[in-house]
A and B are shown apart, each in its own frame.
Chain A
């Protein structure tokens, strides 16, 4: 238990579906992140939020839409995805002091069919 909880753990969706991934952190952190982990590729930072404000969008396609209603919750809304978007999506959180540890959730396995 890392203090970062992701749901659902597994999701299968069609290319025309709309679904959302949810993340909640119980660590009192003020920064939250979405990372993407694909087979045979390094982890890729997708989005960064600091106190609900998006501070980084790493050239992510608009079919991925993040939402951060408060510093404890983070969503990733998914719409019109492609099969190549199938991956493990990892949520993480940290304080905003540089060098602070980033704590990861257990991830949401997404399969797009």
Chain B
């Protein structure tokens, strides 16, 4: 069984400030981890993903996330927020158990990021 908890349904930052969106997961097998972004009236767009290898993952638009197995976390960060970053962000966990586990992502409840001028 897998689950995802995103701490904070709303995060507000000033333009230029650090963005930190928190995600903790639980998984009985080694996880694959994803961050997606959803802009208003659009579908989900992949920001970055962790499968294996380097635990610090860089994504699009200057975002990065670090897989910390000991903390079961995959927090998303960006050094300097931009107005265009305002959106809803979803953390998701998938399984590398093989078989029919592909595509079966479990999503967190989402975090709405607001960026103030």
A residues with a Cβ closer than 8 A to B are 2, 4, 6, 31, 33, 40-43, 45, 48, 50, 55-56, 90, 92, 94-107
Contact = CB atoms under 8 A, between A and B. Distances in A.
Q: In which size bucket is the chain B interface?
A: 20 to 34
A27 B73 CA distance: 31
Interface in B15-38: 32, 34, 36
Interface string B98-117: 10111111111110000000
A33 B103 contact: yes
A99 B4 CA distance: 17
Given A45-B105, A94-B103, A99 B46 contact: no
Nearest to A101: B46
Given A98-B96, A99-B94, A45 B43 contact: no
B28 to A, nearest CB: 15
A90 B44 CA distance: 9
A103 B43 CA distance: 9
B51 interface: yes
B109 A41 contact: yes
Contact of B42 (A48, A101, A106): A106
B14 interface: no
A50 B110 CA distance: 28
A40 to B, nearest CB: 8
Interface in B51-67: 51-52
A96 B104 CA distance: 11
B90 interface: yes
A92 to B, nearest CB: 7
B105 A106 contact: no
B104 A45 contact: yes
Contacts of A106: 41-43
